Amino acid sequence: MSKTTFGRSALMLTCALGALASAAVANAQEADSTSLEEIIVTAERRSVNLQDTPVSVGVVAGDQLRAMQAGGDDILALAGRVPGLYAETTTGRIFPRFYIRGLGNIDFYLGASQPVSIIQDEVVLEHVVLKSNPVFDVQQVEVLRGPQGSLFGRNTTAGIIKFDTAKPTQTLQGQAQASYGSYNTTTFDGGIGGPIVADKLAFRVSALYQHRDDWVDNTFRGTSADGTVTPQKDAMGDFDERDLRLQILATPTEELSVLASAHVRQYEGTSTLFHRNGLKKGSNSTDFAERDQVAYDEAANNPQAYDTAGASLKIDYDLGGVKLTSISAYETTDGYSRGDTDGGAAANFPVGGAPNGFGQSQGAVKDLDQISQEIRLASTTDGALKWQVGGFYFDSRDITNFYQRAFFVRTNPNNWVSLENINTSWAVFGQVSYDVTPNLTITAGARQTDDTKKTRLLKSADTATGAVTYTGRRYVKLSDSQPSWDLSALYKVTGDVSVYARVARGFRGPTIQGRSAVFNADFTTADSETILSWEAGFKSQLLNNTLRLNASAFTYKVEDIQLNGNDSNGNGVLFNADKAEAYGMEAEAQWRPIANLTLTAGLSLLHSEIKDKRVYAQVCALNGVVVCTVQNPTIQVGSNVFAQIDGQPLPNAPEYNVDFTARYEHPLANGGALFAATDWNVQGYTNYVLYKTREFYSEGNFEGGLKLGYTAPGGAYEVALFGRNITNEKNLKGVIENYMASVFNEPRIVGVSVSAKLR
């Protein structure tokens, strides 16, 4: 689709949706369906109706998220279920990567910076492993699209994903969902809480358990240099997730509340499985590899394991018309992930009669410690003027080790590096919102952020005899201070229809890539990137509040965008391109056309382009031979081939996403109901690398879910049969370029689930 055609289509669709909203207001008739519930969000750090928020926000309720995760999925299940949001991983469940409106980071480095920020219970989770912290006993998920730097921190050029868990209450409340399905997939997500001392002290304890058996066979029958036992049936694909959270809420006076929270995580599982030669030159078909079979000669069947813990303390004190809030938090994690990075057995791919393509690596985080402190003062009155000001401090420190193949096959015990990473940041921020008239509200926010990163090489990758061959830098420090700001206006056309416009500037601090030292290559770095984003849209509640229809159109420009390519070792290389530009739209609808039937639909359209004629990315090559079909202009530097990426779309940025859900309930005489529910997602053209090829993309990926069951009177409990990826689609989700290796989605999972609520 051309840029002009795409732009016209997005504009026409947005206008058509706006016309539909206006027509529905003018012609709304009495309807038999039940009104939609109000959705309250905290996108502006205070509770506001979704329809009154001048920000593009996608919302997923806790019950919806639990239904998606019944088959053992983690937070990647959100991908495609919220317009504008995409997520993927090539490093297993401990390293999700998120993209909003096409902006993200494909870097698999453990210290990688991402432009999408994850916020759990008002605590920022910055390190990529912390971003994988499971979400359970969740009340609501909010996806804030576009820069959110004024209120939520520095690395938010794309947006934030905000998870709010169920909190302690002064009444006994709880929920639980358990499921069992294919491959012995078992899940439990639950929480219960209530008063300890009436009106003074309350608690909530929450737990998550997820398990799946190994289901992928290792078919290799040759010799393993590192002792990996092969062949082996059901060798890989398992996971065990165990999580616990305790919250205590103290309200000693009407003015003071103190919420203390602590959580622990224990995870073991299989890292991402690459299928070598899963793609053939000239084709992006997924038919060349079996999802449940690999042939790995090394890496001990791709294990990974992490232990994480954290605690936070939120104190609110009402000073009378003004509330003082303090949020103190600590997070820590350590663990490792190991993988056969060539995706196959070298003996199966000889060159000149010799095995070709040995590869394995392991990344390990040793004792990461993150502390953060936020203090803010906010007005609490209902007057025309609302404001908040605050300050934020962030400190993250870790030791990260990277091990390469020679270490594991015992030919070089020194084939590993150790890096110390320190990231500190502070910021001051403020926001003012003013009701100019009863129908017009203007909001402005600003933040000044200072961000510093330091990486020190503690140990180089030396020879087997201990000789030091590394000649690159051993210490790099990058620092920058930048403003973020936003300005928005929301106008209520009627009580049911609002229009809004917003402009925002965001900032992502400089980044250091130190892992390259394991190949005796110097660190690579990227300077800060900034974004200027414009959006306009409408929010509406129509047909006697049986239809909620929201839509927005946007455009943005990222200056000095941080990108990640590969060098000849397949190692990530950081660099800045001049800019990237994009435009698109998102639309969401929830409709109850008749009693007992609820429909939802979401659509996102995106056109993105990297713009820099001077920047080239190294292409797929093995033993000096280009193995894929490159469709961009190329140049050769030494033995390496580079492709021009000017005009290319951002990687992992689907041109469109469509999602749809439907749920129908048939009432029974006892007050209960039989129900049927389904959900579907279709993903448009998505390029997985920086350059254009005939292999490394997907188009038309889709998945569907189905649920059939019984709901007891009052929704006290539910029993259901479910299926995830019910058509068992084998979708391409990622690639390893030089080995033509493919990464696939999860297989079909069918099972039974039981849920209950205490309220």
Condensed to tens digits (0 to 9), the pLDDT of residues 311-351 reads 999 999 999 999 999 999 999 999 999 999 999 999 999 98
pLDDT range class, residue 626, cuts 50, 70, 90: very high
Mention every residue, 6+ apart, whose C-beta is less than 8 A from residue 603: 13, 83, 585, 586, 587, 588, 656, 657, 658, 659
Q: Does 18 score more than 70 pLDDT?
A: no
Phi, psi dihedral angles at 519 (to 5 degrees): -105, 20
Q: In the prediction, which pLDDT does 570 show?
A: 55
Angle at 345 between CA 343 and CA 350, to 5 degrees: 115
Q: Is the pLDDT of residue 566 over 90?
A: no
Which tokens hold the place of 596?
């007992």
Residue 74 and residue 86: Cα distance in Å, rounded?
14
Token code pair at residue 736 = 């390893």
Q: Which residues contact 109 (CB under 8 A, 6 or more apart)?
A: 513, 514, 515, 564, 572
Over range 540-551, report the average pLDDT: 94
Would the pLDDT of 2 be above 60?
Answer: no
Confidence of residue 568 (pLDDT cuts 50, 70, 90): low
471-497 pLDDT tens trace: 999 999 999 999 999 999 999 999 999
Q: What is the pLDDT of residue 65?
A: 87
- Name the burial class of residue 409, with classes exposed (0-12), middle (13-18) and buried (19+) by CB atoms within 10 angstroms of its CB: middle
CA distance 181 to 158: 36
Range scoring the smallest mean pLDDT among 69-73, 120-124, 480-484, 644-648: 69-73
Q: For residue 125, what pLDDT is reported?
A: 94
For residues 660-676, average pLDDT:
96
The answer to whether the CB of 727 falls within 8 A of the CB of 681 is: no
Q: Please state the length of the chain.
A: 759
Q: Which residues of 599-628 are buried (b: 16+ CB within 10 A; e: fewer)?
A: ebbbbbbbbbbbbbeebbbbbbbbeeebbb
Does the pLDDT value for residue 407 go beyond 50? yes
What pLDDT is stored for residue 486 in this prediction? Answer: 96
165, 138 contact by CB (below 8 A): yes
Looking at per-residue pLDDT, the higher value among 29 and 372 belongs to 372
Distance CA 620, CA 612 (A): 21
Query: How many CB atoms are located within 10 Å of the residue 648 CB?
Result: 22
User: Which pLDDT value is given to residue 11?
Assistant: 37
CATH architecture of 3-758: Beta Barrel (2.40)
Q: What are the backbone dihedrals phi and psi of residue 523, each rounded to the nearest 5 degrees, phi first?
A: -55, 150
- Mean pLDDT for 20-36 is 46
Condensed to tens digits (0 to 9), the pLDDT of residues 127-160 reads: 999 999 998 999 999 999 999 988 887 788 999 9
Q: Is the pLDDT of residue 13 over 70?
A: no
Per-residue pLDDT reduced to its tens digit, 51-90: 999 999 999 988 888 888 888 888 888 887 899 999 998 8
Cβ-count burial of 414 within 10 angstroms (0-12 exposed, 13-18 middle, 19+ buried)?
A: middle
With a cut of 60, say whether residue 392 has pLDDT above it. yes
> 106 pLDDT band (50/70/90 cuts)?
confident
Q: Indicate whether 167 pLDDT > 80.
A: yes
% of the chain with per-residue pLDDT over 70: 95
Segment 564-592 shows an average pLDDT of 86
> Alpha helix locations (H) across 199-255?
none
In angstroms, the Cα distances linking 521 to 165, 569, 572, 712 are 44, 10, 11, 63
Cα–Cα dist 427/481, whole Å: 9
pLDDT at 22 over 60: no
pLDDT tens digit sequence for 492-520: 999 999 999 999 999 999 999 988 898 89
Does residue 429 register a pLDDT over 70? yes
Question: What is residue 421's predicted lDDT score, i.e. its pLDDT?
Answer: 96
Task: Provide the β-strand partners of residue 399.
Answer: 366, 420
Average pLDDT, the chain: 92
Contact indicator for 442, 394 with CB cutoff of 8 Å? no
Looking at residue 54, its pLDDT comes to 92
653-677 mean pLDDT = 96
Is 32:44 a contact under the CB 8 Å cutoff? Answer: no
Q: What is the pLDDT of residue 27?
A: 37
- pLDDT given for residue 749 in this prediction: 97
Region 193-219 average pLDDT: 97
For residue 389, pLDDT beyond 90: yes
What would the pLDDT profile of 225-248 be if each residue is shown by its tens digit? 999 999 999 999 999 999 999 999
pLDDT at 387 (0 to 100):
96
Q: State residue 414 phi and psi, 5-degree precision.
A: -100, 10
Question: Poorest-confidence range of 13-22, 134-143, 536-545?
Answer: 13-22
What distances in angstroms separate CA 606 from CA 5, 101, 230, 400, 609, one per listed residue? 12, 7, 45, 36, 10
Joined together, the tokens standing for residue 744 give 């696939």
pLDDT over threshold 80, residue 635: yes
Instruction: Please give the average per-residue pLDDT across 39-55, as a whole number.
Output: 90
| Rounded Cα distance, 16 and 202, in Å | 49
As a whole number of angstroms, the distance between CA 339 and CA 442 comes to: 52
Alpha helices in 173-214 (DSSP H): none
Residues 6+ apart with CB under 8 A from 727: 703, 704, 748
Q: Is 167 helix (H, G, I), strand (E, B) or coil?
A: coil
Q: What percent of the chain stands above pLDDT 90?
A: 82
